[in-house]
Amino acid sequence: MKTSNYPDSPGRVNDLLLVDDNPADIRFVEETVSNSSLDVTVHSVSTSAAGVDFIHQRGEYPDVPEPDLVFLDWHLRQTTGREVLRAIKGDYSHIPVVILTGSKAKQGTGHLPSTKADLVKEKPTDPDGYIKIIRSIAPTQ
């Protein structure tokens, strides 16, 4: 039985894909999840191309699990997360996507496709922020 606020959500997050090009942000999310009571494995990639390959389980990622949730940094170096979002919402629309941005000001503008993402949030600066996002997608965590 699904209990999430998101109709296509699995109700539980076992595998989280983090698409972010900032090593410090990746480490922060990995440590946050690792130090929490959540039983979630964080898989991280640092480019849109790698994110698309991960979702499609191709290239370097043929044997990875399908993620239950994606944290997508929208402002990747020299590109945006648009390709990753398109790949997910095209063939994997059941996977919830949380777009993370470093700016509150940009959340309300046309720079983000908020209607295609399940959630658009400013990147949390404290560990509880990430845990709250995961639990909002999968309240059974």
Q: What is the CATH number of the domain that holds 81?
A: 3.40.50.2300
From the number of C-beta atoms within 10 Å of its C-beta (0-12, 13-18, 19+), residue 60 rates as exposed
How many domains are contained in the chain?
Answer: 1
Range of 77's domain? 15-137
Q: Note the pLDDT tens digit of each residue in 80-138.
A: 888 899 889 888 999 999 999 876 545 444 455 555 888 889 999 999 999 999 998 87
Asked if 16 and 33 touch (Cβ cutoff 8 Å), the reply is yes
Q: What's the pLDDT band for 5 if we cut at 50, 70, 90?
A: very low
Residue 1 lies in a domain: no
* Rounded CA Rg of the chain: 14
Inter-axis angle of helices 48-56 and 82-91, nearest 10: 20
pLDDT at 8 over 60: no
From the number of C-beta atoms within 10 Å of its C-beta (0-12, 13-18, 19+), residue 47 rates as middle
Residue 74 lies in a domain: yes
Q: Three-state SS for 111?
A: coil
CA distance 20 to 49: 12
Q: Note the pLDDT tens digit of each residue in 75-93.
A: 888 788 888 998 898 889 9
Residue 8 lies in a domain: no
Residue 7 lies in a domain: no
The Cα-based distances of 57 to 5, 6, 50, 60, 66 in angstroms read: 27, 24, 10, 8, 8
Residue 9 lies in a domain: no
Q: What pLDDT is recorded for position 3?
A: 36
Residue 10 lies in a domain: no
- Residue labelled with tokens 């295609």: 116
